[in-house]
């Protein structure tokens, strides 16, 4: 949780700084979306490196524990441990990554089709990074809150409302609400 919050806070600060800098200079920062593309890729890579370390620690722990040692080779096939590791350590990040990639692809496609009417060039990466960091099943709530925020903003301003400054704060709120959401019965249904 703390790593996700840290990345989101850094991203929020960078987005505010780069946006302010481009507005002060009255020009767009070229390739600002590249920064967020690299941040998204780095976050994905780091998010899959940490579970590999945890998986290794789990194997070593089972190896030392008397009853658990029967769950790994030579007593049990390695596929049992790999299946266990996949469901415990990798299933949720993979689902979140798929959701983030689907969002990123659809956002870029529709933004390009409608002449960048919906998003600034870096905004699809804001959404994809936030969806990935919020994780499964939190990204469902995140998407609903972003849509509601955009709808309320449009209704209040009576014109196109950009959620540019809301991507990261809403993700931070969803992550912080995660502890309370886990207590709700419908949230348990969504969990793996």
| Position 22 confidence tier, pLDDT thresholds 50, 70, 90 | low
CA 171 to each of CA 15, 88, 156, 165, 177: distance values in angstroms, whole numbers, following the listed order = 14, 23, 22, 11, 10
SS3 for 109? helix
Using CB atoms within 10 Å of the CB of residue 117, give its burial: 0 to 12 exposed, 13 to 18 middle, 19+ buried.
exposed
pLDDT per position as a tens digit, 79-127? 888 999 999 999 999 999 999 999 999 999 999 998 888 888 889 999 9
pLDDT per position as a tens digit, 133-178? 999 988 999 999 999 999 999 999 888 888 888 999 999 999 998 8
Using left for φ > 0, alpha for ψ between -120 and 50, and beta otherwise, residue 158 falls in: left
Phi then psi for 4, rounded to 5 degrees?
A: -60, -45
Q: Domain extents for the chain?
A: 2-38+91-190
Nearest alpha carbon to residue 120 among 10, 5, 44, 22: 22
121/82 Cα distance (integer angstroms): 39
For residue 67 the two structure tokens come to 């009853």
Residue 28 has pLDDT above 70, yes or no: no
Residue of higher predicted confidence among 185 and 154: 154
SS3 for 1? coil
């Amino acid at each position: 949780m703390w790593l996700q919050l840290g990345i989101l806070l850094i991203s929020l600060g960078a987005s505010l700084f780069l946006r302010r800098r481009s507005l002060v200079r009255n020009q767009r920062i070229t390739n600002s979306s590249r920064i967020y593309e690299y941040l998204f890729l780095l976050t994905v890579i780091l998010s899959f490196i940490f579970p590999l370390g945890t998986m290794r620690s789990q194997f070593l722990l089972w190896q030392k524990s008397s009853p658990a040692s029967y769950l790994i080779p030579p007593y049990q096939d390695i596929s049992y441990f790999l299946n266990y590791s996949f469901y415990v350590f990798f299933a949720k990040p993979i689902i979140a990554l798929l959701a983030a990639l689907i969002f990123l692809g659809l956002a870029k496609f529709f933004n390009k089709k409608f002449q960048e009417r919906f998003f600034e060039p870096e905004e699809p990466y804001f959404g994809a990074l936030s969806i990935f960091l919020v994780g499964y099943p939190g990204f469902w709530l995140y998407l609903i809150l972003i849509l509601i925020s955009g709808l309320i903003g449009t209704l209040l301003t009576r014109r196109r409302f950009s959620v540019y400054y809301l991507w990261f704060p809403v993700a931070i709120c969803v992550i912080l609400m995660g502890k309370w959401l886990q207590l709700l019965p419908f949230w348990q249904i969504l969990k793996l």
